[in-house]
Amino acid sequence: MPVTTTWTGGDVVIRLDMTELEELMKNLDPRARDIVRKVAFRAQGHMKMLAAVDTGAMRNSIDTEFLNDGFTAHVGPHVEYAIYQEFGTHKMAAHPFVVPGLEKACRDYDDLVKELFE
C-alpha cells in the first residue's frame, strides 16, 4: 500500500492508495470496520511514540476521526507546527513521525485483511 505525500499551498496531504480496498468495500463484511479502526489506532499510537516532545502539545494533538460509516479514518496531529517537525525547514532537520507511523501501522494491514476473509 503506497504512501504518498503532497504539499500544496501550505497544506500537507498524506494519502494511502486504497483503490483496491475501495472496490472491495462495496460488498464488504462489517468486520472491515474493525480493520480500519485497528490500523487507525495503531497509526495514532506509532505517531505518538515517534513524535518529538517539548511541551507535549503536538503529541497530545494526534487523534483519530472516523468517517464514511467507519470505513475511513483521518489520523494525525492538529498543531500548525507539525508540518515543520515532519518535513523540517531550511533551519531545522526533519523529525518525521506521521509517515513512519502510518507505514508501521500499515505493515499489519495485509494480515488483518486475510484474517477477515478466512
Q: How many domains does the chain have?
A: 1
Greater pLDDT, 92 or 34: 92
Residue 1, domain member (yes or no): no
Query: Rounded to 5 degrees, what are φ and ψ at 64?
Result: -125, 135
| Residue 24 scores a pLDDT above 70 | no
Residue 64, domain member (yes or no): yes
Say which range, 64-68, 72-76, 85-89, 111-115, has the weakest mean pLDDT: 111-115
Residue 47, domain member (yes or no): yes
Give the three cell numbers for residue 109: 494491514
- Alpha carbons 6 and 98: distance in angstroms, whole number: 13
Q: What is the pLDDT of residue 32?
A: 80
Residue 52, domain member (yes or no): yes
Read out DSSP for 30-50? TTHHHHHHHHHHHHHHHHHHH
Range(s) of the domain holding residue 40: 29-117
Question: Is the alpha carbon torsion for 14, 18, 19, 22 positive or negative?
Answer: negative
Which among 63, 76, 67, 70 has a CA at the least distance from the CA of 28? 70
- Alpha carbons 78 and 47: distance in angstroms, whole number: 12
pLDDT digits (tens, 9 = 90+) for 89-111: 999 999 999 999 999 998 877 78
Residue 70, domain member (yes or no): yes
